[in-house]
């Protein structure tokens, strides 16, 4: 079994949090919440503001593609809880989100499956990006930001394994292992 060791550096924690989002409070493990294997790729964009509308997140899904999965991640500052997010004119109440938990600093994360909505707008893809408006957040001042993560299948893409990991990471840096399906004699190392 081939292993990939990822070491999280505090200086790059913001990007890491946008990609992984906080969850389990009690341990420092990450777990795969979604995995794609096949010819395809992914698109990731984020927005954060206290304006109304909040802003636009974009998805790049090229012509000839099929949306496999789309998630809207939302993070909250300490001492607040999410009530709703209006995503591209669709109200997502708290029941639409999975609560991913909070870290030791009180940052809280949520994930909503928006696959049907994104797939309906994207259709078979395009040579240009697709805009999705984050119209409103409740409470607006408590939301730290929103991330749209889209995975798509496309015969013109390389074979890939794409995994979304949810879990808790230490703000001071952390280490976790990812087992890859291809065998090798030695582990590879990556730094985030």
Read off the pLDDT of residues 20-45 as tens digits, 9 standing for 90 and up.
333 333 344 577 789 999 999 999 99
Give the residue numbers spanning the domain of 13: 2-191
Question: Hey, what are 124's tokens?
Answer: 């078979």
Residue 21: how many other CB atoms lie within 10 Å? 28
Total structural domains within the chain:
1
**Confidence (pLDDT) at 180:** 60
Contact 129, 60 (CB under 8 A): yes
**C-alpha dihedral sign at 123, 60, 16, 85:** negative
For 27-59, give one letter per residue: b (16+ CB within 10 A) or e.
Answer: eeebeebbebeeebbbbbbbbeeeeeebbebbb
Contact 106, 154 (CB under 8 A): no
**Confidence (pLDDT) at 60:** 97
Name the more confident of 34 and 77. 34
Q: How confident is the model at residue 101 (pLDDT cuts 50, 70, 90)?
A: confident
**Confidence (pLDDT) at 10:** 38
Question: Hey, what are 171's tokens?
Answer: 């703000």
Question: Hey, what are 123's tokens?
Answer: 């259709």
Mean pLDDT for the stretch of residues 142-146: 87
**C-alpha dihedral sign at 14, 18, 20, 21:** positive
Q: Which residues, other chains included, contact 190 with Cβ-Cβ below 8 Å and sequence gap of 6+?
A: 4, 5, 6, 7
Residue 64 Rama label (left phi>0; alpha psi -120 to 50; beta): left
């Amino acid at each position: 079994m081939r292993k990939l060791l990822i070491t999280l550096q505090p200086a790059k924690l913001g990007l890491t949090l946008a990609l992984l989002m906080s969850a389990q409070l009690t341990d420092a493990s990450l777990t795969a919440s979604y995995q794609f294997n096949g010819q395809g790729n992914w698109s990731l964009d984020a927005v954060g503001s206290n304006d109304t509308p909040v802003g636009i997140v974009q998805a790049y899904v090229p012509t000839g593609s099929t949306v496999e999965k789309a998630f809207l991640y939302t993070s909250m500052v300490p001492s607040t809880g999410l009530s709703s997010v209006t995503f591209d004119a669709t109200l997502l109440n708290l029941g639409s989100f999975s609560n991913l938990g909070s870290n030791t600093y009180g940052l809280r994360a949520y994930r909503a499956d928006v696959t049907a909505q994104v797939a309906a707008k994207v259709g078979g893809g395009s040579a240009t990006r697709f805009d999705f408006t984050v119209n409103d957040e409740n409470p607006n001042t408590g939301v730290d930001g929103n991330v749209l993560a889209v995975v798509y299948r496309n015969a013109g893409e390389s074979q890939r394994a794409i995994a979304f990991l949810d879990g808790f990471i230490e703000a001071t840096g952390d280490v976790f292992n990812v087992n890859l399906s291809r065998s090798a004699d030695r582990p590879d190392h990556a730094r985030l």
